[in-house]
């Protein structure tokens, strides 16, 4: 077996520009882009550890993944632009937690489009259809 097939560079530098919102517009009047990126499994494991809660149940220590916290951490790790840690954005949305910025910035549908694009780019599931997301992006751009 040729091991060179397994010695490929990581794709963590791969990014994609998406437009989850028609509402958010730049000074030029065009929809504001979100730049999202691929993360590696090592980073994902760290997010999972951060989102895992430990509780005692019947005297036994149990671990449970807090899905909401994991989702917020995943968004924070994958969104390159806008800078969710920006003090201006945090101040505008009245939060010190960058994870709350997207929750307060986007409507439910906009949030779901962003999450779907992140999941698709990171190949987390096969539910998102490339053509559908690109059609939505094209519609929002125009």
CATH of the domain at 22: 3.30.2220.30
Domain that holds residue 26: 3-39+81-141
- The secondary structure element, H or E, covering residue 63 is strand 60-65
Question: How many domains does the structure of the chain reveal?
Answer: 1
Q: Could you tell me if residue 20 is inside a domain?
A: yes
Give the pLDDT mean for 10-25.
89
Q: Could you tell me if residue 111 is inside a domain?
A: yes
Q: Could you tell me if residue 52 is inside a domain?
A: no
- Residue-level pLDDT at 28: 93
pLDDT tens, position by position, 76-86 = 999 999 999 99
């Amino acid at each position: 077996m040729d091991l060179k097939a397994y010695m490929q560079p990581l794709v963590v530098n791969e990014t994609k520009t998406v437009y989850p919102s028609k509402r958010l517009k730049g000074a030029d009047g065009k929809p504001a882009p979100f730049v999202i990126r691929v993360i590696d499994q090592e980073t994902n494991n760290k997010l999972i550890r951060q989102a895992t809660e430990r509780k005692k149940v019947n005297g036994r220590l149990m671990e449970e993944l807090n899905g909401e916290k994991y989702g917020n951490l995943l968004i924070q790790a994958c969104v390159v632009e806008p800078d969710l840690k920006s003090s201006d954005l945090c101040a505008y949305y009245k939060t010190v937690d960058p994870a709350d910025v997207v929750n307060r910035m986007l409507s439910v549908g906009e949030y779901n489009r962003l999450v779907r694009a992140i999941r698709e780019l990171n190949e987390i599931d096969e539910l998102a259809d490339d053509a559908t997301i690109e059609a939505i992006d094209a519609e929002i751009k125009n």
